[in-house]
C-alpha cells in the first residue's frame, strides 16, 4: 500500500453536541443489530485534494447531490469494529483498531479513493466514543458497533474517480450475538469474488451482488451461503460475510488470502490463537470435494465462520448439489475453545499476550 503524504488540517475535531440525548428512549435489553445509533457522528469532507476539518455533530441525515458517484457507480468502502467495557468496567477498549484503519485504506486504494490519515481515523473513533460512551451496553455479550465509511460525493454522473468524498463514522449499541449454529447453501453457480476483482476490499459493491443469491438460499431453508471460488467454483471462499474455517482430523484449514478473500482481523486472530494453543493451521485451497469426502469419512468435525459481529459462528449443515450434509454439534469443541479465548482477550478477562487491545 502506498502511503500518501497528507497535510493534517483535519484536527482538532470541531464538536457540536445534541440539544437532547435520545439515550432514555433506547431499550438496552432489546437491541437488534444495526438499527440503533448514538447521539453523534463524525463527518469529514475531502475536496481540493485534501481532507478538510473534521466535525462531530448530531447523528442525522446528510444532504448530498443525487448525481454523486456513490449512488450510481458505488464508490463506497467501510469498516466494522466494536468497543467494549472491560470486564471490570475500569475502561473502554477497542480490538486491533490499527488493522481496521489499514484495511480501510487498502479498500480505498482499490476503489480509487483517497486514504484517511491514521490520526483522523483514531481520534474520530475515540472522541465519538468518549462523547457517546453512555451508549455502550454493559449487558453480557453486548457491545458498541463502530461503522466508519467513505463515499464518493462529487456531483457528476460520468464514470471516473470522484474528486469529492465524505468520511463518516457512525456508532451504535448492539445486543448479544449468540452465534447459534447456522445452515449454509454451497452454490456452484453464483460467486462473490474472483481473481483480479476486489473480494479483498470491504467495498459496498461486494455486498450488493450477494443479496439475491442469499435471498434464494433463504427460500430453500438455509441461513446463508458458503461461497466457492469464481474460477473453478470448487474451492471454499467465505461464508456469508465471514471467513471460513474447517476442522479435519483435528487440524484447522482456512482458505489462503489470494485477493478474493477479505482479510479478516478475526481470521488472523483465530489463526494466531489456534497456533498458540498448539493446533496445526493450514492456509490453503480447500475444495468442496475434499470437504464432502472428509464429512463422509467422519473426519470433518467442525465448520465455522469468523468475523467481528459473531466472533465465531458454527455451521451445522451444508447443502451442495441437492444433498444435505449434517455436522454433530456435540463435536464443536475447537470453535468453542477459540471463541472463549478470543472474547476473553477482547474483554480483558485474561492477559492480552498478543498486544491487541487498545484503551480508548
Ligand X SMILES: *Cc1c(COP(=O)(O)O)cnc(C)c1O
- Applying CB under 6 A, which residues contact ligand X? 80, 202, 238, 241-243, 262, 264-267, 307-308
Dihedrals φ, ψ of 39, to 5°?
A: -75, -30
CB-wise, 40 or 192, nearer to ligand X? 192
Least CB distance from residue 14 to ligand X, whole Å? 30
Query: Cα separation of 270 and 267, whole Å?
Result: 5
CB-wise, 129 or 271, nearer to ligand X? 271
Query: Cα separation of 111 and 76, whole Å?
Result: 8
Q: Locate cell 481496521: which residue?
A: 100
CB-wise, 23 or 122, nearer to ligand X? 122
CB-wise, 254 or 266, nearer to ligand X? 266
Least CB distance from residue 316 to ligand X, whole Å? 20
Least CB distance from residue 15 to ligand X, whole Å? 29
Query: Cα separation of 144 and 157, whole Å?
Result: 36
Least CB distance from residue 23 to ligand X, whole Å? 27
Query: Cα separation of 42 and 16, whole Å?
Result: 10
CB-wise, 115 or 308, nearer to ligand X? 308
Q: Does the CA dihedral 323-329-330-334 come out positive or negative?
A: positive
CA distances, 191 to each of 49, 119, 158, 329 (Å): 36, 37, 28, 28
Least CB distance from residue 267 to ligand X, whole Å? 6
DSSP labels, 119-167: HHHHHHHHHHHHHTGGGS--STT-EEEEEEEEEE--B--SSS--S-EEE
Least CB distance from residue 65 to ligand X, whole Å? 28
Residue 288: count of CB within 10 angstroms of its CB? 20
CB-wise, 117 or 305, nearer to ligand X? 305
Q: Which residues pair with 321 in a beta bridge?
A: none
CB-wise, 184 or 242, nearer to ligand X? 242
Q: Locate cell 451444508: which residue?
A: 318
Least CB distance from residue 356 to ligand X, whole Å? 12
Amino acid at each position: 500500500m502506498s502511503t500518501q503524504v497528507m497535510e493534517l488540517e483535519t484536527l482538532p475535531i470541531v464538536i457540536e453536541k445534541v440539544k437532547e440525548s435520545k439515550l432514555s428512549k433506547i431499550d438496552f435489553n432489546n437491541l437488534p443489530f444495526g438499527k440503533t445509533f448514538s447521539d453523534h457522528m463524525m463527518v469529514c469532507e475531502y475536496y481540493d485534494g485534501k481532507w478538510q476539518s473534521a466535525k462531530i455533530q448530531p447523528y442525522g441525515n446528510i444532504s448530498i447531490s443525487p448525481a454523486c458517484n456513490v449512488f450510481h457507480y458505488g464508490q463506497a468502502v467501510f469498516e466494522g469494529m466494536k468497543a467494549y467495557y472491560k470486564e471490570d468496567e475500569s475502561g473502554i477498549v477497542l480490538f486491533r483498531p490499527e488493522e481496521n484503519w489499514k484495511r480501510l485504506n487498502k479498500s480505498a486504494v482499490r476503489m480509487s479513493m483517497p486514504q484517511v490519515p491514521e490520526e483522523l481515523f483514531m481520534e474520530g473513533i475515540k472522541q465519538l466514543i468518549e462523547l457517546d460512551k453512555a451508549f455502550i451496553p454493559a449487558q453480557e455479550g453486548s457491545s458498541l458497533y463502530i461503522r466508519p465509511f467513505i463515499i464518493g460525493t462529487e456531483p457528476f454522473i460520468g464514470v471516473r474517480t470522484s474528486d469529492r468524498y465524505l468520511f463518516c463514522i457512525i456508532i451504535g449499541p448492539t445486543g448479544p450475538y449468540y452465534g447459534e449454529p447456522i445452515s449454509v447453501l454451497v452454490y456452484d453457480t453464483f460467486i462473490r469474488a474472483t481473481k483480479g476483482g476486489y473480494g479483498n476490499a470491504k467495498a459496498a459493491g461486494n455486498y450488493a451482488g450477494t443479496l439475491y443469491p442469499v435471498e434464494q438460499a433463504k427460500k430453500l431453508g438455509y441461513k446463508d451461503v458458503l461461497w466457492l471460488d469464481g474460477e473453478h467454483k470448487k474451492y471454499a471462499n467465505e461464508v456469508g460475510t465471514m471467513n471460513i474455517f474447517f476442522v479435519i482430523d483435528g487440524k484447522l484449514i482456512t482458505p489462503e488470502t489470494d485477493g478474493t478473500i477479505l482479510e479478516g482481523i478475526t481470521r488472523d486472530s483465530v489463526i494466531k490463537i489456534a497456533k498458540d494453543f498448539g493446533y496445526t493451521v493450514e492456509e490453503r485451497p480447500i475444495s468442496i470435494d475434499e470437504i464432502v469426502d472428509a464429512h463422509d469419512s467422519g473426519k470433518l468435525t467442525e465448520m465455522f465462520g469468523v468475523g467481528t459481529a459473531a466472533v465465531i459462528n458454527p455451521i451445522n449443515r451444508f447443502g451442495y448439489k441437492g444433498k444435505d450434509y449434517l455436522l454433530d454439534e456435540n463435536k464443536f469443541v475447537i470453535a468453542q475453545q477459540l471463541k472463549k479465548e478470543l472474547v476473553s482477550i477482547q474483554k480483558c478477562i485474561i492477559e492480552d499476550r498478543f498486544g491487541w487491545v487498545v484503551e480508548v
